[in-house]
């Protein structure tokens, strides 16, 4: 088991290393001058050169890379090229917002997706099943950006209502305001993944229900509900939960647009704005950061799998 974990850790480190080089190079290949983007049209050639110097852009690439990596590895996340603000501090401000959004989304996804999937599987081929499946396909088809726009603006038009915009309402200050701010975007963001989870749960549960040991349980005279709850669900949950964990990375991408529409100052927006102004340090560091999160998630999953199923360890 230990060897397995070590191997996986090494693989993770290698992946992150490769990721860091990739993002570093990609950013520098991209056209666009961060100094110019920051200083604007009135800047003289001299000022632009001074700015580039300040950003360290005249140093050879390996030097720039090492400087960045050294900072990251010693815990100094550096400062944003654009604002001069410490990246760590920005992250501390923004991360809770994105986390709250993502956690709410995941909870909603799991709650809606899994329960709908169970319902649909248990009452298979009934009207309820049919309705749920149609809703699921719709949920997969509707673009989140469009729905989010409607969710924001239709209540405004009809009832003159809008959620808190621009200022983050913290949960402990005003729970209801906080929910009003974060629930709508979470719901919109959750619809697609919930639909996918629902389908996965349904098919997984159906698969499990066909198994022999379920027949045995039924034959033993256990009530159907007990059969499902105690025996079927536990095994059926594995694929959906796996996918749920993996959706974290996908959600981070989706959050860029949702944060934009609902004006939530989170990591997604931070990423996007940094890409736009070619804020190298921010984009690099954030990429690495998300990479770490994803790699760790996968690692935990792999270890969990290996622990559950010993065959995997020796592959």
Q: Which of residues 199-228 bind another protein (CB under 8 A)?
A: 199-200, 203-204, 206-207
Nearer to another protein, 183 or 219 (CB): 183
Nearer to another protein, 231 or 278 (CB): 278
Could you count the other beta carbons within 10 Å of the beta carbon of residue 146? 11
Q: Give least dist CB 286 to another protein, A.
A: 8
Q: Identify residues 163-202 at the interface with another protein (CB under 8 A).
A: 164-168, 196, 199-200
When the beta carbons of 17 and 226 are compared against another protein, the nearer one is 17
- Does 276 contact another protein by CB under 8 A? yes
Q: Would you say 144 and 194 are in contact if contact means Cβ atoms under 8 Å apart?
A: no
Rounded least distance, CB 82 to another protein, Å: 6
Of 142, 90, 60, 43, give the one whose Cα is nearest residue 281. Answer: 90
83 binds another protein (CB under 8 A): yes
Q: Which is nearer to another protein, 16 or 233 (CB)?
A: 16
Candidate residues 11, 95, 241, 301; the one interacting with another protein per rule CB under 8 A: 11
Which residues from 90-149 bind another protein, rule CB under 8 A? 90, 93-94, 137-138, 140-143, 145-147, 149
Interface with another protein (CB under 8 A), residue from 187, 277, 301, 303: 277
Residue 160 is a binding residue for another protein (CB under 8 A): yes
> Shortest approach of another protein to residue 192 CB, angstroms?
9
Shortest Cβ distance from residue 220 to another protein (Å)? Answer: 25
The three-state (H, E, C) secondary structure of the chain, written as one string: CHHHHHHHHHHHHHHHHHHHHHHHHHHHHCCCCHHHHHHCCCCCHHHHHHHHHHCCCCCCHHHHHHHHHHHHHCCCCCECCCCCCEHHHHHHHHHHHHHHHHHHHHHHHHHHHHHHHHHHHHCCCCHHHHHHHHHHHHHHHCCHHHHHHHHHHHHHHHHCCCCCCCCCCCCCCCHHHHHHHHHHHHHHHHHHHHHHHHHHHHHHHHHHHCCHHHHHHHHCCCCHHHHHHHHHHHHHCHHHHHHHHHHHHHHHHHHHHHHHHHCCCCHHHHHHHHHHCCCHHHHHHHHHHHHHHHHHHHHHHHHHHHHHCHHHHHC
Write down the least CB distance from residue 232 to another protein, Å.
Answer: 14
Quote the CA–CA distance of 94 and 18 in Å, as a whole number. Answer: 26
68 binds another protein (CB under 8 A): no
Cβ 174 to another protein shortest distance, Å: 14
Residue (75 or 166) nearer to another protein, CB:
166
157 is a contact residue toward another protein (CB under 8 A): yes
Spell out, one character per residue from 28 to 47, where the chain touches another protein: x when CB under 8 A holds, - when not: -xxxxx--xxxxxxxxxxxx
Q: Which of 105, 182, 278, 281 binds another protein (CB under 8 A)?
A: 278
Among 77, 110, 227, 283, binds another protein (CB under 8 A): 283
């Amino acid at each position: 088991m230990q060897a397995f974990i070590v191997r996986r850790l090494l693989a993770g480190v290698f992946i992150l290393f490769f990721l860091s080089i990739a993002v570093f190079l990609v950013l520098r290949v991209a056209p666009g001058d961060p100094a110019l983007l920051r200083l604007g049209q009135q800047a003289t050639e001299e000022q632009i050169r001074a700015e580039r110097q300040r950003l360290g852009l005249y140093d050879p690439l390996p030097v720039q890379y090492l400087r960045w990596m050294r900072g990251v590895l010693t815990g100094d996340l550096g400062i944003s090229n654009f604002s001069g603000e410490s990246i760590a501090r920005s992250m501390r401000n923004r991360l809770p917002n994105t986390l709250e959004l993502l956690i709410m989304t995941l909870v909603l996804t799991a709650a809606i997706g899994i329960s709908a999937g169970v319902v649909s599987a248990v009452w298979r081929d009934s009207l309820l099943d049919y309705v749920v499946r149609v809703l699921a396909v719709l949920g997969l088809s509707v673009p989140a950006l469009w729905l989010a726009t409607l969710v924001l603006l239709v209540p405004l038009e009809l009832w003159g209502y809008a959620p808190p915009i621009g200022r983050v309402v913290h949960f402990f200050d005003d729970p209801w305001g906080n929910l009003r701010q974060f629930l709508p975007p979470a719901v919109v963001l959750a619809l697609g993944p919930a639909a996918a989870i629902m389908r996965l749960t349904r098919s997984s549960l159906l698969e499990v229900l066909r198994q022999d040991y379920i027949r045995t349980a039924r034959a033993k005279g256990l009530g159907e509900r007990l059969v499902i709850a105690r025996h079927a669900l536990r095994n059926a949950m594995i694929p959906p939960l796996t996918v749920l964990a993996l959706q974290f990375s996908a959600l981070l991408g989706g959050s860029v647009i949702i944060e934009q529409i609902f004006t939530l100052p989170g990591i997604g927006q931070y990423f996007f704005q940094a890409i736009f102004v070619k804020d190298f340090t921010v984009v690099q560091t954030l990429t690495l950061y998300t990479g770490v999160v994803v790699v760790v998630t996968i690692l935990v999953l792999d270890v969990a799998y290996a622990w559950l199923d010993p065959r995997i360890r020796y592959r």
